[in-house]
Amino acid sequence: MTVTHAILKDICTVLSNKEDLNTIDFSFNLISVLKEKCFLASHLLVIIKLNNNNIKEIDRTAFSGLTSLKYLNLSHNFLSQFSFSYLLDSKILHYLSVKYNTLHDMRFQDGEIFIKILDTNDYRHSCIMPSSVKCNSPRLWYNTCNLLPIGNLKFMLYCVSVFIFFFNILTSILHLKGKQKKAPGYAYNMIILSINMADFIELMYLLILFILDIIMGDKFAMNEMQWT
């Protein structure tokens, strides 16, 4: 069944008495909501194309009963969140496309993901997917799933932080010893102390980043919107 480039807004009513459908293509319409048990009557569906609509909300039971579903296209919509619990009945789902949405929240629990291919334009989605899922998401060289860069860049950041720490300890000791031999001006003392304090504050900030990087791991990528 194909209804494209129309003004269709409610597909649930259209499908309420269609039991023998294998494929539906309702792309390029004005659908905004997938209601409760929307596809239950058409439980034999294998392919669903809902791309290029205005979908903003999906009821948690919208895809209930779709045990034969293998292909689901939700690209070019306005989804801000998506839960794989919506697809618990679709255990043979092979392909899911969510590219060109505004997805900031993608949720799943252990045992909820059955898809083989996730088509997305946001590299952050690949950060949280299990290794069994192939993600078609572009990633630039500077993109990372973690808070801090990985590999040599992270090691260099650790080394610089350790160097700054011991260098400040050394300069503070030398400054205190130097004060016992001669009495430098007040302004000079304040400048040295201010520089050391600024460096220690920077080290505290880096320490917080190191700790958060360990705690959050690769889940930071999907939570980074909370930092902006």
Statement to judge: residues 68 and 165 lie in one domain = no
In a domain, 3, yes or no: no
CA angle 212, 215, 216 (to 5 degrees): 80
Residue 92's CATH number: 3.80.10.10
In a domain, 141, yes or no: no
Statement to judge: residues 128 and 190 lie in one domain = no
Beta bridge partners of 118: 96, 135
The pLDDT tens digits for 62-93 are 999 999 999 999 999 999 989 999 999 999 99
Q: 114 lies in which domain range?
A: 11-136
Statement to judge: residues 128 and 159 lie in one domain = no
In a domain, 193, yes or no: yes
Quick one: angle between helices 152-181 and 186-216, nearest 10? 150
Count of domains forming the chain = 2
Weakest-pLDDT range from 23-37, 60-74, 104-118: 104-118
Weakest-pLDDT range from 19-33, 99-113, 139-153: 139-153
Statement to judge: residues 20 and 104 lie in one domain = yes
Statement to judge: residues 130 and 220 lie in one domain = no
Mean pLDDT of the chain, nearest integer: 84
